[in-house]
Amino acid sequence: MRSMRFHGPFSLGSTLALPLVAALAVLPGAVSPVRAQGPARAATEGAAPVSQPHASSESTKSQTVAANPADKAATPEQRTLTAKAIDKVKQVAKSASDIFNRVPCLPPKGGAGTTGSLPHVAAKLAAGEPVVIIAFGSSSTVGYGTSAPEFTYPNRLAAQLHRQYPTADITVINRGQGGEDAPEMMKRLQTSVIDMHPDLVIWQVGTNAVLRDLDPGETAKLVEEGVARIQAAGSDVVLVDPQYSPKVTERAESANKMVKLLSRIAALRHVGIFPRFDVMRDWHERQSIPIDEFVIADGLHMNDWGYACFAQLLGDDIIRSVGQIKLGVAVPSNVQTYRPM
């Protein structure tokens, strides 16, 4: 089992969705949850993109519902219904934020492996300069399967980094687009990623290539070209390989080939890779977590718990990697790789 590993300088159920939809349906001005995937897109990783707020230090705070003048004329029964809906939203949010109390987010068995560094991110943090991280990818990045926008992995990661570096100006920008893979992503790489001048790009790629039976070799060439362009612009890079879920594993040969190719690119370009496929397989095969406790009913996308644990493990390794080179200071003893939220 591979744990989080890095090469070179960075060698490193959707059960909440239904009550949230019901609650938000009666709330004027409330944030819409991620939409359910339509049957026409079931063969790819994601439906039409859903707008996500940019993560910030406020990403885990409750959102204020805008006042609606019509509420003044609402009947007592309507006001009671609205109050109950608000309570339901709060209950869902609390349930999702406390999700690891039900199923712990544990490191892959066998240890955390080696770590390296994120030179650009570390240099900015050391100098007290703003840090910009871009999450680039498809529907896993958009957050399809979460019960609310704040539970996407980019927003979870932003909250974790703000807890670790409370005085730092850290922005995590979600540049996910449902249904895409390397060919579509390369078309928007310049405008969605490079033009934002990020310090770190977390690139989730490869799942839709597997589902569409795209040539793995051609996908690898595009990803390698994209990584080279991101590096040339002065950004650190972490690749994220496909998820371990039924829709992907039923194409085992293609999935395994994609995982190996992305690992090879990481080694060749000296960038980090988060082995999501092996991490999720560890959840099921070695930690005995049923698939339906981290994958939603479509057999492809993660649920709140899956995204939360993914973000936690990724964030822990970023924190440790930055700590190893930030002004030559070692990682604080109280920062444990893959610690629970």
Domains contained in the chain, number: 1
Higher pLDDT, 246 or 73: 246
Q: Provide the residue range defining the domain that includes 146.
A: 5-48+75-79+90-328
Q: Which tops the pLDDT comparison, 269 or 42? A: 269
Interval 137-165 mean pLDDT? 96
User: Which has more confidence, 287 or 29?
Assistant: 287
Rounded distance between C-alpha atoms, residue 158 and residue 170, angstroms: 8
pLDDT at position 303 over 70: yes
Determine the average pLDDT of the residues in 18-26. 41
Over residues 321-341, mean pLDDT:
52
Taking CA atoms, 118 is separated from 70, 158, 239, in Å, by: 52, 16, 13
**CA distances in angstroms from 256 to 181, 259, 260, 262, 287, listed in the order given:** 17, 5, 6, 10, 21
Three-state DSSP at 176 gives strand
Q: How confident is the model at residue 324 (pLDDT cuts 50, 70, 90)?
A: confident
* 68: in domain: no
Q: Long-range pairs for 184-191 at CB < 8 Å and ≥24 separation?
A: 185/136, 185/137, 185/138, 185/222, 185/226, 186/222, 186/225, 186/226, 189/136, 189/226, 189/229, 189/230, 190/229
What confidence category does residue 44 fall into, taking pLDDT thresholds of 50, 70 and 90?
A: low
Q: Is 60 a domain residue?
A: no
What is this structure's pTM?
A: 0.72
Inside any domain, residue 271: yes
pLDDT of residue 4: 45
| Of the candidates 44, 23, 47, the residue with the CA atom closest to the CA atom of residue 35 | 47
pLDDT in the model for residue 74: 58
DSSP 3-state of 23:
helix
* 189 contacts: CB under 8 Å, gap ≥ 6: 136, 226, 229, 230
- pLDDT above 90 as % of the chain: 55
In angstroms, what CA-CA distances link 109 with 5, 112, 178, 283, 287?
Answer: 14, 8, 32, 9, 8
Establish if 247 belongs to a structural domain. Answer: yes
pLDDT for res 122: 86
In a domain, 333, yes or no: no
d(CA 78, CA 75): 5
Q: What is the pLDDT of residues 181-226, one digit of tens each?
A: 999 999 999 999 999 999 999 999 999 999 999 999 999 999 999 9
Read off the pLDDT of each residue in 29-50 and give the average, rounded to a whole number.
39
Beta bridge partners of 6: 272
Q: What is the pLDDT of residue 91?
A: 56
Question: 92-101, 102-111, 241-250, 257-266 — which is least confidently predicted?
Answer: 92-101
Residues ≥6 apart with Cβ < 8 Å to 295: 243, 245, 246, 301, 302, 303, 306
Cα–Cα distances (Å) from 23 to 29, 34, 86, 89, in that order, read 12, 14, 7, 6
Average pLDDT of the chain? 77
In a domain, 231, yes or no: yes
Residue 35: pLDDT over 50 = no
Beta strands in 10-167 (DSSP E): 131-137
Question: pLDDT band for position 314 (50/70/90)?
Answer: very high
Is the pLDDT reported for residue 67 higher than 70? no
Is residue 236's pLDDT more than 90? Answer: yes
Q: Which residue has the higher pLDDT, 326 or 183?
A: 183
Stated as kind and residue range, the H or E segment containing 96 is helix 76-97
Per-residue confidence (pLDDT) for residue 214, from 0 to 100: 96
**Percent of the residues in the chain that have a pLDDT greater than 70, as a whole number:** 65
Residue 180 lies in a domain: yes
Q: What is the CATH number of the domain that holds 109?
A: 3.40.50.1110
With a cut of 70, say whether residue 57 has pLDDT above it.
no
The 10 Å Cβ neighbour count of residue 32 is: 14
- The reply to whether 53 falls in a domain is no
Give the pLDDT confidence of 243-295 residue by residue, as tens digits: 999 999 999 999 999 999 999 999 999 999 999 999 999 999 999 999 999 99
Between 42 and 231, the more confident residue is 231
